Every structure is written in structure tokens, then in C-alpha cells.
Amino acid sequence: MLQLNFEPFPNLETERLLLRRVSNADVKEILELRSNAETMKYIPRPLLKTEEDALEHIAMIDAKIENQEGINWAITLKGSPKLIGIIGHYRIRPENYRAELGYMLLPQFHGKGIIPEAIKEVVKYGFEEMKLHSIEAIIDPDNIASEKVLRKNGFVKEAHLKENEFYEGRFLDTVIYSLINNS
């Protein structure tokens, strides 16, 4: 079975980005990210409304890291500490050596190649350090931008589940993409 340890917290670096731990100092940006109907369009979760909600969300991220259930990074541009997005391995299933990749970015940073750059580093960490065998990403079939990003990073469409999630009175489809560690 997979043995995970996120202490000390692993900061990751790419050419343009620094991926670091989310902290309470990121409360305004977390609120901006998760209260925005545009960024949350394809994420079937309630919108955050207050800074209190955002602090609770940060506490949940911390708890998952401490329990080795998931790991999230704040996406920041080098030279600027401001959180512009989040990326991480959610729902780690150690018995299957598998985790779910998730990410979101403030709209003003869309289309700059930030998410593909972050995914590459987080996938590398997942395979090399966490020893995952596979990584999945579960997206809304209408989320074409996310689909493009995943394909660009080598993910392959694994399944299209019909009306498998019930949210706010309606059934939603989900599409699963995955990447297998062949090294």
C-alpha cells in the first residue's frame, strides 16, 4: 500500500510558477476563486460567500494534507506571493495507487498556459514522489478548456458517465480522463 508523507510540505517550482502551501493569508484569493460563478461553473459545489467560508475551506485543505488524504498547492507566479489558483491531488486512494487531479485558476490568468505548466509538475510529483500508478481528472463534459489542457498533458479519456452526479436538483454527466505511470 502507498505510504504518503507531506511533511515537510513540498513546494514545487516550474519555469514561471511557484507552487506552495495554501495559508490563511490567501483567504481573499480563495474567496475570489470559489465565490466566482465563472470559475465554479463546472464544479458542482456551493459558492463560498464570506471570508469565514474561505477560512473553513483552507482548514479543510490543511486537514486533508495532515491526514494524507489529499494535497493542494497554491499556484503563484514567481516573484509574486499572491495565490492565482489551486492545484492538487484530491481523493487519494492509496489502495489503488491512484489520485484525482483537480485545479482552478482566476479568470484573468486563463489562456496563458499556467495550468498545463502546473499540471506537468504536479503529475511528476504524483508519479515520482507519491509513487502513484495512475492519476484521474473528472470533468464536466462541457468543460472544453479543461479537456484540452488534460489532452495536452497526455491524459486519455477513460469514461463518460451519464447523469451519475446529482447536484442542485438535476443529474450531471461526468467525464473521466486518466494518465498511467508507464515509467
Q: What domains lie within the chain, and their CATH numbers?
A: 12-180 (3.40.630.30)
Rounded distance between C-alpha atoms, residue 94 and residue 131, angstroms = 10
* pLDDT grade for 3, boundaries at 50, 70 and 90: confident
Across all residues in the chain, what is the average pLDDT? 96
Interval 156-183 mean pLDDT: 95
Distance of CA 122 to the CA centre of its chain: 9
Contact 101, 131 (CB under 8 A): no
| CA 153 to the chain's CA centroid | 14
Average pLDDT of the segment spanning 125-134: 97
Q: Please check whether residue 58 is in contact with residue 86, taking contact to mean a CB–CB distance below 8 angstroms.
A: no
Per-residue pLDDT at 101 exceeds 90: yes
Position 183 scores a pLDDT of 77
Q: Which residues on adjacent β-strands are paired with residue 166?
A: 171
Residue 38 has pLDDT above 90, yes or no: no
The answer to whether residues 131 and 2 touch, using CB atoms and an 8 Å cutoff, is: yes
Closest among 142, 143, 138 to 159, alpha carbons compared: 138
pLDDT of residue 166: 95
Residue count (the chain): 183
pLDDT in tens, 39-69: 899 998 999 999 999 999 999 999 999 999 9
Query: CA 58, 60, 63, 69 torsion: positive or negative?
Result: negative
